[in-house]
Chain A
Amino acid sequence: MIPIKVLVPSGVLGLGFDLEALKHGIKNNPDIISIDGGSTDSGPFSLGSGTSKYSRSAIKAEWKSLMIAREKANVPLVIGSCGTCGTNGMVDWMENITIELAEELDQHLKIAKLYCDQEKNYIKESYKLNKILSLNPAPKLNNTVIDEMTNIVALAGAEQIQECINTGADIILAGRTTDTAIISALPLMKGANPGSSWHGAKIAECGALCSTNPTSGVVMVEFDKAGFTVEPMSKNAFCTSETVAAHMLYENADPYILHEPGGYMDVTYSNYYNIDKKKVRVEGATWNSSKNYCVKLEGARVSGYQTSLLVLLRDNNYVKNIKKWTDKLSKFLKKEINKRMDIASSEYSLEFRHIGLNSILGELEKNLGNPVEVGVLCLITSKYKISTEIAKLINPFLLHFPLSSYEELPTFAFPFSPVHSDRGCVYEFTMNHILELDDPMDAFQIKISEI
């Protein structure tokens, strides 16, 4: 059955890809089309709220191209981490889009859904039984934290995707999955080299990011018993041994080791070389199975309600003394908030960031420069829904607060009306842990439907 060809249209659904390159990919007879649908890359909001980072219409337009391509190639189409966070709700959201498109395209399909949500009681029980282990660094976990989480997902690996492939489904909609598992699942199943199956998957998980033309998206990876070959499908993209090898560094804390459910891959002794000007051949990675089968967990909870205000200052005296101004203002406001609203400072956080000075790097910034204007971003985050009220109290002082008591009342620039922006709930990641399973399917469910 090998070699096995996996077509990866892009690093993530929603980012776009070159349609000509996709066509070229289909002509090259892939055995499966695999695309990632999510990541924690944008922060905890998606998982916390159980929503997609990308717009539904962008996802639908791209998914349409892939459903048409799949029908033409007559092979399975797999998406991992549906709707950015890969919760059950987002798998159903993706199914809904698929059903709409199947009607529009008059396609009849078998769909396998892989659910990865974790029930709180199951997580508490596993924690009690020491089946949950922390990675470094891990936030503190206990039953209260588990209760506070709005979503907990486990990252599926190759085994769970293989179960889905074995159902004979045309389309697989998977919840949270490791970026690599959707690519490595089929080659591993068909007897390709295990180390290289994971290595090739890692190289292709961001689509054409491993080539000279990242935005073209589409790459094909061919897996066999000794290694893999990667080739971008766009006319204007090339893989070189450097672009491919360099991708092992990308977003990886360790450039040689990648942990996956059931073990880890090691690329210390792998070799990369160009077969021609487009294709790169890679061999030498190894797969090391672990004694216990573990999957990674992700969770998020509400960290507060947030409201922001932005004021702009051009007055030279204030620009020069901006830190002094916000320190003084902060002290004053905390007193006023306590006095007028009866809210203790432990109930909220009040932060001022100086845009134009060091708003990105904070205390790490060494080059403070000499700006002509400064933006002050005021962030209020409260435990209860009081951040808007606090912002409204702050509003006039942000506009008029003087540096000294003997000067005329200054007025700064507000770029918006209203000046405050409610950011709603903000979330925080609460888990960097793994869960030990007796059987890979213990924390996952598959549902089949036909449309």
Chain B
Amino acid sequence: MSTLGEKVKKIRSKNAGPFWITIDVFCGDKKVYKDVCNKLKNSKISSLLMISEQDLKRFEIENLNVIKFSFPRKIIQGDILDRDMHGAQLAILLSEMKF
């Protein structure tokens, strides 16, 4: 079984202001996009990120072949418990996910 990172073109994550994180999954083409849309479940993503499923927003952006996830940070950016100010390393979790 391959990983999601091997399947798609690029996955990136980034802070969207101090209170949110957003993850963009660039699928590359329509076929991969459809496949990922169908198989990538919100429940899987929320358990990977240890957030509640209600907090996870999902956008399927067909014209860009992108699936976007956004969620409020459990730890606000720059809090003493924050380990990654820009949240950009979180994307690795999705990249290494079995798919």
B-binding residues in A (CB < 8 A): 40-45, 135-139, 242, 245-246, 249-256, 303-304, 306, 349, 351, 353, 359-364, 366-367, 379, 381, 426-429, 432
Contacts and interface: CB of A to CB of B under 8 A. Distances in A.
A44 B81 contact: no
Given A41-B15, A249-B64, A249-B66, 12 more contacts: A137-B72, A251-B17, A251-B22, A252-B22, A253-B70, A353-B83, A360-B89, A361-B92, A364-B49, A364-B90, A426-B78, A429-B76
Interface string B82-99: 111110011011001000
A322 to B, nearest CB: 16
A200 B5 CA distance: 31
B22 to A, nearest CB: 5
A427 B78 contact: yes
A40 B73 CA distance: 15
B83 A360 contact: yes
Nearest to B77: A43
Given A250-B14, A253-B22, A364-B48, A44 B77 contact: yes
Interface of B: 14-20, 22, 24, 26, 48-50, 57, 59, 61, 63-64, 66, 68, 70, 72-73, 76-86, 89-90, 92-93, 96
Contacts of B15: 41, 251
A361 B18 contact: no
Contacts of A44: 18, 77-78
A349 B80 contact: yes
Given A363-B50, A364-B49, A426-B80, A249 B85 contact: no
Contacts of A364: 48-50, 90, 93
Nearest to A42: B85
Contacts of B79: 303, 428
Contact of B76 (A135, A249, A428): A428
A interface SS class = loop
B24 A249 contact: yes
A168 to B, nearest CB: 34
Contacts of B16: 251-253
B36 to A, nearest CB: 16
Contacts of B18: 40, 43-44, 429, 432
Contacts of B96: 366-367
A138 B81 CA distance: 17
B22 A361 contact: no
16 contacts: A40-B17, A40-B18, A43-B77, A44-B18, A44-B78, A138-B19, A242-B64, A246-B66, A249-B22, A251-B15, A256-B59, A351-B80, A361-B90, A364-B90, A429-B19, A432-B18
B93 A246 contact: no
User: Which of A41, A256, A426 has the most B CB atoms < 10 Å from its CB?
Assistant: A41
B80 A381 contact: yes
A304 to B, nearest CB: 7
User: Which of A135, A245, A429 has the most B CB atoms < 10 Å from its CB?
Assistant: A429
Instruction: Pick the 6 closest A-B CB pairs, nearest first.
Output: A43-B78, A253-B70, A44-B78, A253-B16, A253-B20, A137-B72
Nearest to A429: B18
